[in-house]
C-alpha cells in the first residue's frame, strides 16, 4: 500500500500566523515552494498560504504585504492527511475539497506536503488524469 508519507515532499515548514506576507514570500522563494502551511502559537494547522493568495488577496487589492499577516489570509477549514493514509484517501480528499496541496501530519506534527508534482511523480497516468479532471473541471481558481 502506498501512503501519503511515501509520496509527500518531506521538510515542509510552517509559517507562523503572526508572520507578514512579505516574509512568507521570502520563505517561499528560499524553499522554492508555492504554498506554506500556517501555524498558530501551538504549531497547529490554521490555514495554508499560497503565492496566489499573496498576489491576488493582498498586492492586487492595494494592501501592503509588510502589514498583512498570514493569519489575515487564512480562510476556511484547513485540510490535512495523516502520513499513514492510503494514497487513495489522499486523492479523495484533494478531489472532494478541490485542493492542489495537502499538508501531511504524523503524531500531530507537520512532516510534509503533497502537491501536484508529487502526484505526477507517484501516480499512474490514469490516476493522475482522473485527479486532474476532477479537481480542475469543478474548481474555481485557488
Where do the domains of the chain lie? 4-138
Confidence (pLDDT) at 126: 87
* Distance in angstroms (rounded) separating the CA atoms of residues 82 and 108: 9
Helical axes 125-138 vs 87-97, angle rounded to 10°: 20
Closest CA to 69 of 51, 49, 86, 83: 49
Q: What's domain 4-138's superfamily in CATH? A: CBS-domain (3.10.580.10)
pLDDT at 44 over 90: no
* pLDDT tens per residue, range 49-94: 999 999 999 999 999 999 999 999 988 788 999 999 999 999 999 9
Band of residue 30 on the pLDDT scale cut at 50, 70, 90? very high
* Distance in angstroms (rounded) separating the CA atoms of residues 70 and 22: 10
pTM score, whole prediction: 0.83
Average pLDDT over residues 123-134: 84
pLDDT at 138 over 80: no
To which H or E segment does residue 29 belong? helix 21-31
Amino acid at each position: 500500500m502506498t501512503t501519503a508519507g511515501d509520496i509527500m515532499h518531506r521538510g515542509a515548514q510552517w509559517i507562523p500566523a503572526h508572520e507578514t506576507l512579505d516574509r512568507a514570500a521570502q520563505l517561499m522563494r528560499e524553499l522554492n515552494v508555492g504554498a506554506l502551511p500556517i501555524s498558530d502559537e501551538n504549531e497547529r494547522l490554521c490555514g495554508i498560504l499560497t503565492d496566489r493568495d499573496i498576489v491576488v488577496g493582498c498586492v492586487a487589492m492595494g494592501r501592503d504585504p509588510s502589514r498583512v499577516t498570514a493569519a489575515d489570509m487564512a480562510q476556511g477549514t484547513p485540510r490535512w492527511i495523516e502520513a499513514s493514509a492510503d494514497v487513495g484517501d489522499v486523492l479523495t480528499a484533494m478531489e472532494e475539497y478541490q485542493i492542489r496541496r495537502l499538508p501531511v501530519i504524523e503524531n500531530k506534527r507537520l512532516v510534509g506536503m503533497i502537491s501536484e508534482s508529487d502526484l505526477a511523480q507517484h501516480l499512474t497516468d490514469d490516476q493522475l488524469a482522473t485527479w486532474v479532471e476532477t479537481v480542475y473541471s469543478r474548481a474555481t481558481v485557488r
